[in-house]
Amino acid sequence: MTKYSILTPTGLDEALELLEKHSGNIKPLAGGTDLLIDFRYGKPAPEFLLDITCIPELNRVKVNGDIRIGPATNLTDVSQSNEIKSWYAMLAEGAGCVGSYQIRNLATIGGNICNAVPSADTAPPLLAADASVKMRSKAGERTMPVAAFFLGPRKNALQPGELVTEIELPTLKERTGSIYKRYTHRKALDLAVVGVAVQLTLTPSLEIENVAVALGAVAPVPLRVEAAEKLLVGNPYSEELAEEAAELAKKFAKPISDVRSSAEYRQKIVRVFVKRSIAEAHQRAISARSGE
């Protein structure tokens, strides 16, 4: 049996103090759906766990033009937030497909990115959204693009003593549509074989003004497929164009073979899902224009 004490700070300052005080012997605990399982599989536990879900300022969605999500917000709340749903459908979808109801009620968005597995379902949407991650320690605060936050499988940019304190999503233009699609062998409670997030903004004349294509589970970290994005920008949507972009994404993806899927199959899925995601994001962008 693993033994540890759980500390329950009431505010961020207290939390940061505790982190510093017990440095090397403490870990933040959010929903625990990754952390506690690690312990069960034999990873050594620190003496203290710092429960950050009881810190009110880390546990809410703030909307003021941009959207700021507290890292301890659980994935049910993220997937059901009206603002997130209407502006960042892909993030609501990414959060909404994690695990099961029970898991989403516990699991947090901060935990999902801090855990930093290649298949994390909120990562491609955050990447496609150009989100940034705010971190704080006793020493101060810094912010970085989410793309820089992921360093490798289960490796992130946090320094000891630092907490993720906010995830920021920029304000969006009109005529923007987004989607997150993941391929799993089983409908629910399964990890992504491939995850694709696409966010697409149209000009008034319906050319693609801006587009982001992000992939999960096909490389050590979630990736943006810039080549595909470049190809799309400035053009009106067409099936052929989406095919071509999808082909670029397929070439770009560097998946591994494991028990779940071979690398070759993952690449095929990347092509199919990128193509479909671009088409659907485009549809949504058009609907967004007509105010649906």
Ligand X SMILES: Cc1cc2nc3c(=O)[nH]c(=O)nc-3n(C[C@H](O)[C@H](O)[C@H](O)COP(=O)(O)OP(=O)(O)OC[C@H]3O[C@@H](n4cnc5c(N)ncnc54)[C@H](O)[C@@H]3O)c2cc1C
Residues in touch with ligand X (CB under 6 A): 27-35, 37, 52, 71, 98-99, 103, 106-108, 110-112, 114-115, 119-121, 158, 163-164, 189, 191
CB nearer to ligand X: give 50 or 208. 50
Checking DSSP bridges between strand 163-169 and strand 66-69, what pairing results, if any?
antiparallel
Closest CA to 255 of 245, 266, 247: 266
The SS3 call for residue 123 is: helix
Provide the minimum distance between the beta carbon of 115 and ligand X in the complex, in angstroms, as a whole number.
4
Q: Which listed option, ligand X, another protein, none, makes contact with residue 14 (CB within 5 to 8 Å by class)?
A: none
End-to-end CA distance of the chain: 53
Q: Which listed option, ligand X, another protein, none, makes contact with residue 108 (CB within 5 to 8 Å by class)?
A: ligand X
Q: Which listed option, ligand X, another protein, none, makes contact with residue 27 (CB within 5 to 8 Å by class)?
A: ligand X
Provide the minimum distance between the beta carbon of 1 and another protein in the complex, in angstroms, as a whole number.
9
Q: Which listed option, another protein, ligand X, none, makes contact with residue 93 (CB within 5 to 8 Å by class)?
A: none
| Encoded tokens for 199 | 């966010």
Q: Which listed option, ligand X, another protein, none, makes contact with residue 22 (CB within 5 to 8 Å by class)?
A: none
Provide the minimum distance between the beta carbon of 251 and ligand X in the complex, in angstroms, as a whole number.
25
Provide the minimum distance between the beta carbon of 179 and ligand X in the complex, in angstroms, as a whole number.
17
Q: What is the dihedral of CA 31, 34, 40, 46, to 10 degrees?
A: -80
Provide the minimum distance between the beta carbon of 206 and ligand X in the complex, in angstroms, as a whole number.
34
Based on the shown chain and the rule CB under 8 A, indicate whether residue 260 belongs to the binding site for another protein. yes
| Encoded tokens for 260 | 């779940």
Checking DSSP bridges between strand 48-51 and strand 5-7, what pairing results, if any?
parallel
DSSP per-residue codes, 38-77: HHHTTPPPPSEEEEGGG-GGGS-EEEESEEEE-TT-BHHH
Structural contact between residues 51 and 163, judged by C-beta atoms closer than 8 angstroms? no
Provide the angle, in degrees to the nearest 10, between the axes of the packed helices 239-252 and 263-289: 140
Q: Which listed option, ligand X, another protein, none, makes contact with residue 183 (CB within 5 to 8 Å by class)?
A: another protein
Provide the minimum distance between the beta carbon of 198 and another protein in the complex, in angstroms, as a whole number.
17
The SS3 call for residue 125 is: helix
Q: Per CB under 8 A, which of residues 185..244 are in contact with another protein? A: 185-191
Please report, as ranges, the residues that interact with another protein according to CB under 8 A. Answer: 183, 185-191, 259-262, 265, 268-269, 272
